[in-house]
Amino acid sequence: MNTKDLILEKTLKLILEKGTIDISISEIRNCTGLTTGGIYYHFSDKSDLFEAILQKYIVDYIKIDFDQINLEGSSKERIHDALCYVLHHFINGVEIESIDEKINYRDVVLLLTGTGYADDDTNIMISQTGNDVRTFLSDLVEEGKRQNEISEDFPTKNIVESLYIMYMGIQYFWLLSPDESFDQIFEKSFDMTWHAIECH
């Protein structure tokens, strides 16, 4: 692992251990084993370091590769599996190579979101990801309508927003109550939403 990535990962670990981004350069020196000059060789200041952490552990992590979603079966199964994939994409965690463990994305979000949402790149990526999920769902809903599995009574846009709001509610619930069974809540919420939009 190169020195720059080592600094990013050790600093993130320190932030998570302390529960705050208010850390000193001496603390970063101690956790990385580098000199101040060694740290400033890679980052101009602490703000530059924090922005790099946001980029690597939030902005890059938020991106979704929709080609990785394996969709088969009925429209219900395809939409269900797509939402499950997106939900678990955020919940499964971030690999931290230098400290040989997986850090739950929830911890990263709760500690860095305050800074992250003020960061332009993060704002853009969060907004773009939401739009990408909606577009992906729109295609699935339109296909379901063509196959007479989804009701024509509701505009596709309204159905997609209902599905997206349901998904965001589950993600929010997970952030606030990580010990609860979000999978069970997702299944119940999805079944209720599907019952409202399916062809009867």
Helix/strand/coil for 187: helix
User: What digits encode the pLDDT tens for the residues 40-97?
Assistant: 999 998 888 988 888 787 777 777 888 888 889 999 999 999 999 888 877 776 666 6
- Going by the DSSP 8-state scheme, the letter that residue 66 receives in this structure is G
- pLDDT greater than 70 at residue 119: no
- Going by the DSSP 8-state scheme, the letter that residue 21 receives in this structure is S
- pLDDT greater than 70 at residue 98: no
- pLDDT-derived band at 4 (thresholds 50, 70, 90) equals very high
pLDDT of 94 reads 67
Q: In this predicted model, which residue has the larger pLDDT, 180 or 5? A: 5
Identify the bridge partners of residue 5 per DSSP, sorted by sequence position.
none
Amino acid at 20: T
pLDDT of 50 reads 86
pLDDT of 171 reads 82
User: For tokens 């409202």, what's the residue?
Assistant: 196
- pLDDT greater than 70 at residue 117: no
- Going by the DSSP 8-state scheme, the letter that residue 136 receives in this structure is H
User: What digits encode the pLDDT tens for the residues 180-193?
Assistant: 777 888 999 999 99
Q: Please report, for residues 43, 104, 109, 112, the alpha-carbon distance to residue 19 in angstroms, rounded to integers and kept in the order given.
A: 22, 14, 12, 10
Query: Of all helices (H) and strands (E), which one includes residue 169?
Result: helix 156-176
Mean pLDDT of all residues belonging to the chain? 85
